Amino acid sequence: MRSLENTKMYAEKISSLPPYLFAEIDERKREAERRGAEIIDLGIGDPDLPTPPHVVEAVCRAAKDPGNHRYPSYDGMLAFREAVAAWYKRRKKVRLDLNAEDEVLTLIGSKEGLAHSALAFLNPGDLALVPDPAYPVYKNATVLAGGVPHSVPLLAESGFKPDLWGIDEAVARRAKVLFLNYPNNPTAATVERGFFKEVVDFASEHEILVLHDNPYSELTFDGYEAPSFLAAAGGGAKEVGVEFGSLSKTYNMTGWRIGFAVGNSEILRGLRLVKTNVDSGAFQAVQVAGITALTGSQECVKENVRVYRERREILVEGLRSAGLWEGKEVKKPRATFYLWVPVPSGYSSIQFSMFLLEQAGVVVTPGVGFGENGEGFVRFSLCTSAERLREACERLRGLKL
């Protein structure tokens, strides 16, 4: 067979994608390990805490039921969607369609739903408003759909919230969708309900679909409660958008691939049309486990928050005392399991990340990997033990810039 090396094998949209940030970090980490370095990974946000035992037990029982071995429903089990609707009513004071058939859709993780939404709503050349910095999927899914991502800066001076009304009017009129994410990854920024009222007003005026990614809503500290986008504007949010949720962070189920989209039934119908053509739904036994997670005791969630709060205190105090951030502020986040930390003067985010990896064996994520406005910051994850966080801080304390 002749070599394909120099042929036009890949679609143009594939060649326009950057290397996936986290995959590239993994390769750098492996290189350091091959050199003999003992790595402490504070890069990727993948919970190290186990899935709660009662959820594991539920999937084991469900996996033994032959009725769960066949193709699942495209929309997801009605019982799972009803559990999502009940959870929203209880936790977020949001009332979804009582039969959960029109306003709740099961996903194979929220990442899948976000990516498929771009395919559902963006024609080639359509414009998507993408926050910057942001989870890379928003921009990459837009590119894969043939759309045009338009960067909306998230700046420190504005609390990492977008200036929606500052967007050029011609751009706003062209925009088809707006991606949002609060509590935010990577910045850990939080918002109050009034911000979402502004989003609804902006989206209504410009006829924009809002896709709000909300996987960190339950990981909050110091009395802060993260509002749902759908709770804004007296129900008006449902007129313009949907919200994506995941069991990954709340219940330590990243590998299980189970999530949901809720809100506007017409938007969900479009997403459903894509999904029925490209996937066959979430494994039903996992949906049964999801029901158990959503409807069972929430003490496991409270314990997660307690653990992450303890880790946050260790890392914030450790970084503040490390001597690397003179003249810079290491802020204590109110949500997520991330710290968004400015880099020392004279370093880019990639240079500082490589410095920490090579000099201390500590992996962090360079902010520029989340977008050009992430330059000047690195992201630390709390997804490792308190003991390892203390060790990482000790390693940093001995460094000289």
Domains of the chain: 12-50+300-397 (3.90.1150.10), 54-295 (3.40.640.10)
Residue 181: pLDDT over 50: yes
User: How far is residue 58's CA from residue 64's CA, in Å, rounded to a whole number?
Assistant: 10
- pLDDT computed for residue 8 by the predictor: 66
- pLDDT computed for residue 113 by the predictor: 98
CB contact set of 328 (below 8 Å; sequence gap of 6+): 341, 342, 344, 345
Per the prediction, the chain carries an average pLDDT of 94
Describe the crossing of helices 53-63 and 284-295 by its angle, rounded to 10 degrees: 150
What mean pLDDT comes out for the span 168-184?
Answer: 98
- pLDDT computed for residue 21 by the predictor: 64
Select the more confidently predicted residue: 185 or 7: 185
pLDDT, one tens digit per residue, over 315-342 is: 999 999 999 998 899 999 999 999 999 9
- pLDDT computed for residue 11 by the predictor: 84
Weakest mean pLDDT among 2-6, 68-72, 176-180, 360-364: 2-6
- pLDDT computed for residue 27 by the predictor: 80
User: How far is residue 81's CA from residue 101's CA, in Å, rounded to a whole number?
Assistant: 8
The structure tokens 């990516």 sit at 115
What mean pLDDT comes out for the span 170-181?
Answer: 98
User: How far is residue 51's CA from residue 253's CA, in Å, rounded to a whole number?
Assistant: 6
Band (33; pLDDT cuts 50, 70, 90):
confident
What mean pLDDT comes out for the span 132-149?
Answer: 97
Band (99; pLDDT cuts 50, 70, 90):
low
Select the more confidently predicted residue: 22 or 96: 96
User: How far is residue 351's CA from residue 348's CA, in Å, rounded to a whole number?
Assistant: 5
Band (98; pLDDT cuts 50, 70, 90):
low
CA quadruple 250, 253, 257, 259: dihedral, nearest 10:
-20
What mean pLDDT comes out for the span 378-398?
Answer: 97
Q: Are 210 and 240 in contact (CB under 8 A)?
A: yes
What mean pLDDT comes out for the span 68-79?
Answer: 95
- pLDDT computed for residue 52 by the predictor: 98
- pLDDT computed for residue 14 by the predictor: 80
- pLDDT computed for residue 228 by the predictor: 97
User: How far is residue 80's CA from residue 164's CA, in Å, rounded to a whole number?
Assistant: 35
Band (100; pLDDT cuts 50, 70, 90):
low
The share of the chain scoring above pLDDT 70, in percent, equals: 96
Residue 126: pLDDT over 90: yes
Enter the pTM of the model. Answer: 0.95
Band (10; pLDDT cuts 50, 70, 90):
confident
For residue 350, how many C-alpha atoms fall within 13 Å in the half-sphere facing its CB? 9
- pLDDT computed for residue 359 by the predictor: 93
What mean pLDDT comes out for the span 59-71?
Answer: 97
What mean pLDDT comes out for the span 127-148?
Answer: 97
Band (1; pLDDT cuts 50, 70, 90):
very low
Select the more confidently predicted residue: 378 or 20: 378
Q: Are 122 and 142 in contact (CB under 8 A)?
A: yes
- pLDDT computed for residue 227 by the predictor: 96
Select the more confidently predicted residue: 235 or 213: 213
